Structure 1
Amino acid sequence: MHRTARLGVGVIGAGRVGPVLGAALAGAGHALVGITAGSEQERVEAVLPGAPVLDTLEVARRSELVVIAVPHDQLAGLVSGLAEVGAWQSGQLVLHTDPAHGLDVLRPAAAGGAIPLAVHPAITFTGTSIDLRALPHAYAGVTAPGPVLPIAQALAVEMGFEPVVIDDSQRAAYAEAIATATEFSRSIVQQSAGLLAQAGVAEPGRFLSSLIHSTVDDALQAAGGPSET
């Protein structure tokens, strides 16, 4: 698969996802230009010790690859706001990690000459360095214009993921699948744990662990997916 050249990487978003992906890209040989921190300075320092902390505008202006890992409701405003101040540059790679958005949300950046990429890591992040060990066992939903799709796939691989191409027109269905898997699973576990607690089980989470893992493995095998056992 096409390998990306060494890039100057900037990360916008210091929640659970951004610092981990920044660390993964740095581990693949890219240079970390900077990351926004806000109130998450402690998390950034734990996952990316010594990383330059910059404001959003400086990250966008200085980076050849900008990774945007912000909450769903902030993404569109951030991209368009940076476009209004002329932050996006011709040939710059702009990658967001939101499952629901495809390429359209990056249109303001593309209008400035940037190359839009959507790479969603299909994993629940803890926001710690533990995640780096989990990345090679996870997939990423990748959407990009045809000519640069190999670049998006290569970046996913360099971060540790197995890339799966999602057509831009299917991002809504993809997002629904991701939300169903995560939200429903979390809700069912919480409901079951609550019932066990009412029944007098002291540690319902530990009690459910083997049962849920074995049940999920069985369901994945039935769906044609890999088992973790």
Structure 2
Amino acid sequence: MLWEAFREADMKADSFIINQLLESYIQAGQSKEAINLYLRLTLAVNRLHVSAGFVPDQAEPTRAMFAETVKFRHVFQPDGMDGQLARKILHTFRRIKDNTGFVVALSTLRDAFGFMPPETLVLELMLETTKLTWDSPTHRRRLMTAKRDLDRGLLSWAEGDASRLEGQHRGEALFEYLQKRYWPTEGDDALKRKMFKEAAEQMGVYDVLRKGAKE
């Protein structure tokens, strides 16, 4: 589950996402489901030991938990999803190395939840860290190198026209840069289409993204 993956991602085990999902169930008048969800996410997780490193079968339950969030996307309207929750979701898919799920989640967060990744989050994902730091010369060099690479990538997206990176356009450029960076590399186009379809179905967003593509 997504909460279990948060633990694997070495994030602080707070109750933020549990509260978000419980609130979704309660506002939808499904208090029984809220209780069952609480039990699954707390008692079961407390007994779970997650090994370090990537476990292939983490992808499916993580996608399933994302689907649970999507079911109640109306709860996040009209303001959209909280930025910290969206950040944790993307870091989770990044940490378990589910690039296909990451790209699907990224698109869903934009199309269904009104979330666009800010530059700070893009840098975190580039450096594969949940905390950007200037504590040492090594950290500073890594961050400055990542920032230069990002700036070059955005300028390339804008075809050298820096004016195209102002305002809302910069957000679009950051989104596409991140999407390209995490685009799966395995297989040909036919296999990629199959992978994306499978991930979208598992994550409960196949119809949502297909509708968005048509619009």
Output the TM-score relative to the length of structure 2.
0.33
Greater strand percent: which structure? 1
Is the radius of gyration larger for structure 1 or structure 2? 1
Greater helix percent: which structure? 2
